[in-house]
Amino acid sequence: MKKLRPLSWVIIVINILFAWWLFGGVGSAVSDSCTGLTGDELTACEAGTAIGAGIGGFMIMVLWVMVDIILLVIFLVTKKKGRECPACGRKVKVGLTKCEKCGHDFVKA
């Protein structure tokens, strides 16, 4: 299995936190905030709770997408440049003809 970069783990953790935040926020709208109300008051409370949960969920998703786009740009910009050594799998800088770790010669290959 290919080793993940540290930034990959940061992205995974942030996405898990956003999912937890989204489900927790929308799920909290189903709480007992309208207990004790009857008739029109109950209907208005349930409608307001649903609208508030929808707006909150939408805002969380918009923020989530914006953060993921920023993280994607950072991920792509910080990617190491070079080629992978076929013998040991280590990244070799562009322009080098030998792997620094195992000594594989790219010119002969």
Q: What is the pLDDT of residues 55-65, one digit of tens each?
A: 999 999 999 99
Per-residue pLDDT, 1: 58
Q: Residues 99, 67: one domain?
A: no
> Whole-angstrom Cα distance, residue 66 to residue 36?
40
Q: Reply yes or no on whether the pLDDT at 104 is more than 90.
A: no
* Total count of domains within the chain: 2
Domain that holds residue 98: 81-109
Q: Token pair for residue 45? A: 């409370």
Identify the band that residue 18 occupies on the pLDDT scale cut at 50, 70 and 90: very high
C-alpha angle 99-74-64 in degrees, rounded to nearest 5: 140
Q: Residues 26, 43: one domain?
A: yes
Q: Reply yes or no on whether the pLDDT at 91 is more than 70.
A: yes
Q: Residues 31, 53: one domain?
A: yes
29 against 90, higher pLDDT? 90
Q: Residues 105, 52: one domain?
A: no
pTM > 0.85: yes or no: no
